[in-house]
Amino acid sequence: MTILYLARHGETVDNANQIMQGQTQGELNENGILQARQLSMEWQDRPLDVIIASDLKRSIDTARIIATPHHIEVVTTHLLRERDWGGFTGRFIPDLKGEIWPDDIETLENLLSRAGEFIAYVKKTFPGKKVLAVGHGIINKAVQAVYYNKPMSEIQRMSNAEVRTLEL
């Protein structure tokens, strides 16, 4: 059985400022670096075979900090990228309440499909391994929705640097 430890990246400058990041690279802030270091210390003695990150900087940076004591190279994949928020990207999140969604936001169907592809990729590529994957709030929610076969609204939001375990 493959064990997937699904993590969210550390806090970023945009998280702290309530800016919709979407598929922008993002930059860990001081707190986010501390969160990643704390996670690294908590996981330093736990066996990990593979560490995967979204191909966005904020996830890669978090994954590299976690990977340091394991001496593992971080594998990246676009499948774990955050949802593309289109015209909402870069906007102040509280200002978006009640706005009509632009047509260029990644559809829920595409997001869930990508989440399913990610699960299939992990199962096929790393069978029987312990895999820690650093993603983002919404894609991680989608991965769990597919895994548990539940609507995304029933999946609790993940905090920065939180980890959840899925047995594939």
Task: Give the confidence band of 51 by pLDDT, cuts at 50, 70, 90.
Answer: very high
Share of the chain above pLDDT 90, in %: 100
Active site residue ranges: 9, 82
Predicted TM-score (pTM) of this structure: 0.97
| Residue 49 annotated as lining a ligand binding site | no
Domains of the chain: 1-165 (3.40.50.1240)
Under DSSP, the state recorded for 93 is: G
Would you state the pLDDT for residue 167?
Answer: 98
Q: Which residue has the tokens 């169907």?
A: 109
Q: Answer for the pair 80, 59: CB distance below 8 angstroms, yes or no.
A: yes
pLDDT tens profile 146-160: 999 999 999 999 999
Q: Angle at the Cα of 12 (from 10 to 18), degrees rounded to 5?
A: 125
Residue 34 CA to its chain's centroid (Å): 17
> What gap in Å lies between CA 83 and CA 149, rounded to an integer?
19
How far apart CA 50 and CA 159 sit, in angstroms, is 22
**119-146 tens-digit pLDDT:** 999 999 999 999 999 999 999 999 999 9
Is 9 known as a binding-site position?
yes
Question: Is 15 known as a binding-site position?
Answer: yes
Question: Three-state DSSP class for 130?
Answer: strand
Residue 163 to residue 132: CA distance in whole angstroms: 9
